[in-house]
Amino acid sequence: MTRAATAETHASTGRYVAVWAALVGLTLLSFLLSRAPLGAAELPAALAIAAAKTALVLLFFMHLIEQRTTNAVVILTAAAYVVLLASLTTADVVTRRTFPRAPTPPATSPASR
């Protein structure tokens, strides 16, 4: 592959700067939300910001956006295995035979001691 062809497939410097600015903005948002009393929404907000930052790094800095077909196959295969694992685990738990609890000894009153 020639140098001109390589330059065409990779993103421009402006795109890298924009992604970096987005990462800095998401980091600032994450910091500011950690100071806010969100209650039960803290964890979902933090996970959403982390997922967005992860996606940006994977797609642009690791150049995964350039090989869309290959990545789609890998992602779909991984998702299929996760679904398979979750469904087999669920089937195991649902069909498992549960035994009755062992009898508990009778409670003794403090007067009988």
pLDDT in tens, 21-33: 999 999 999 999 9
Numbers of helices and strands, H then E, in the chain: 4, 0
**Between 46 and 11, where is the model more confident?**
46
Question: How far apart are alpha carbons 73 and 19 in whole angstroms?
Answer: 25
pTM comes to: 0.58
Q: Please, are residues 64 and 58 in contact by the beta-carbon 8 Å criterion?
A: yes
Give me the pLDDT at residue 100, please.
78
Phi-psi region of 100 (alpha: psi -120 to 50; beta: other; left: phi over 0): beta
Q: Residue 13: how many CA atoms within 13 Å on its side-chain side?
A: 0
